[in-house]
Amino acid sequence: MNSIKNSPFFYKIITSLLYGSITRKYAIRYIENKIAKNFGSSNNQKASSKKNKRLQYEKKIMALSIIKTLDRSIERNNLDRNIAQEVLKLWANALTGDRLKNKEVKKFYIKNKSMPPFMLVISPGHGCNLRCRGCYASSKSNGQKLPWNVLDRLISDAKKLWDIKLIVFSGGEPFYYNSEDKGILDIAKKYKDCLFLAFSNGTLLNKRLSQEIAECKNITPAFSVEGLEEETNRIRGEGVFEKVLGSMELMKKAGIPFGISVTVNSDNYNKVLKDKFLDFFFHQMGVFYAFYFQYLPIGRALDFKYMPSSMQRVDFWSKIWRQIENKGLFLIDFWNHGPLVGGCISAGREGGYLYIDWNGKVMPCVFMPYSIGNIYRMYKEGKTLNHLWEHPFLAKIRNWQKNYGFGKEANFGNNLLRPCPYRDHHLEFLKWIKELKTEPEDESASKILSDCFYHKKMISYGKKLANLFDPVWEEKYLK
Ligand code: SF4
């Protein structure tokens, strides 16, 4: 089956079926039935009773939401057929490809009894044309950046050593990045067998760039919004919302899949899952997916008043699942969807990722701004990404992830609804940071280390969250 899946003809046939006006209905129904069967349905109690039912249900409605998105986009003519074919192939390859066929991955696996991470998040440049309130990266207009040859080498090494197929560009603003007259689209053109996601403020795209993105076929932008016009402009600046909508129109016209990225804060948490918000973006603007990141006090504005409370987080969890199921939308809640991915995915975990910033600093996670090494130093000392992966701080986190619940059946692990060592188990994080050598990414991360008030607030948040989320875990996932 794998050899069929690797064949370009397989995706050609699938796309032909999906784009045929009569065949699409049957193809979609066939895939939906397959999903229901795989993840258990009321007609298949035997299969679903063997596994955690809640988790099976979550996987099922998430998979269905992706299929519904595909169906809608083709029906509305929002997805170019050639792009769809390429994205389906790359996505399937990234998720199900046999990476052990790669000699280096096999060596890694034999040595470490673990697969290497399957994704890198890279912020190639600190530069950005906006100054958003609370930017986690505290971006500037003339920020640092990775020179082209370093960025290129990093991606080439990650492919060679770890068979990385998914790369996320974060910021600064990825489309602001330029080195030797090259940008992130040149990377996408060079690494055609990788799928790229770029978190963008959506203000720098134009017709020429949208055509280039369409030609690449392997990059999807996710535009940041904080709500509708008023909320977005309040945080990102006057006129930004309109520019973002302009970029969305360009994507739609070119048939490029694109998403939104929402920083959920204590003000907007109640609005960004409302029908009005979702209908506008998904049905009017043609958005394919939405990432929700709950505001975390790191970076430019360390202000606890914007962080959603533990109560708001739990409320968000139940509302987002309701909307995914009822509306068939592909919505991803970065923290609350811990059970779907086995908990925290940081520190180069199997099925997880590592983060590299504009200074070449390597960190376990975008939301844990403490560096364990630097790729410039790594190259100078003749080392590789494998050496960095072995760093004790990362090893500690990976070990914690395993003990906490990654790779275990729900009944034998801890509550994956609160998977984050930084946000939900801050005391744990503090112990590691005192014991093991790391370097704060910036001034803000450095100040935090000696800020007792900050730590108290984080620890108290974690305790309150446990009180609220543990009964939900017991009731929904363990019974
Ligand atoms: S450290 Fe926290 S934010 Fe980062 S991947 Fe783990 S759970 Fe997510």
91 φ/ψ angles, rounded to the nearest 5 degrees: -65, -45
Q: Cα(114) to centroid of ligand 1, in Å?
A: 19
Mutate to test the pocket of ligand 1, among 423, 433, 438, 465 (most ligand atoms within 8 A of CB): 423
Q: Is 278 exposed, middle or buried (0-12, 13-18, 19+ CB in 10 A)?
A: middle
Q: For residues 65 and 31, give the distance between their C-alpha atoms in angstroms, rounded to a whole number.
A: 12
Q: Report the nearest-CA residue for atom 7 of ligand 1.
A: 420
Q: Which pLDDT does position 41 carry in this prediction?
A: 58
How many angstroms from the chain centroid is the CA of residue 60?
19
Average pLDDT per 10 consecutive residues for the chain, totaling 479 residues: 69 94 94 88 49 89 96 96 96 92 97 97 91 67 88 98 97 92 97 97 95 98 95 89 97 98 94 97 98 90 90 98 97 96 97 97 97 96 97 98 89 91 97 95 93 96 98 92
- Minimum-distance ligand 1 atom for the alpha carbon of 353: 5
Mutate to test the pocket of ligand 1, among 121, 170, 344 (most ligand atoms within 8 A of CB): 344
Q: Cα(124) to centroid of ligand 1, in Å?
A: 20
Q: Which pLDDT does position 53 carry in this prediction?
A: 87
Q: Cα(257) to centroid of ligand 1, in Å?
A: 26
Alpha carbon of 124 to those of 92, 107, 175, 185, 196: distances in Å? Answer: 26, 29, 10, 12, 13
Predicted TM-score (pTM) of the model is 0.94
Pocket of ligand 1 (CB under 6 A): 344-346, 365, 367-368, 419-423
Q: Which pLDDT does position 47 carry in this prediction?
A: 46
Q: Which pLDDT does position 299 carry in this prediction?
A: 79
Q: Which pLDDT does position 3 carry in this prediction?
A: 60
Q: Which pLDDT does position 281 carry in this prediction?
A: 98
Q: Can you name the residues that pair with 196 across neighbouring β-strands?
A: 167, 219
Q: Report the nearest-CA residue for atom 3 of ligand 1.
A: 367
| Among 324, 295, 327, 290, CA closest to 308 | 295
Q: Which pLDDT does position 479 carry in this prediction?
A: 82
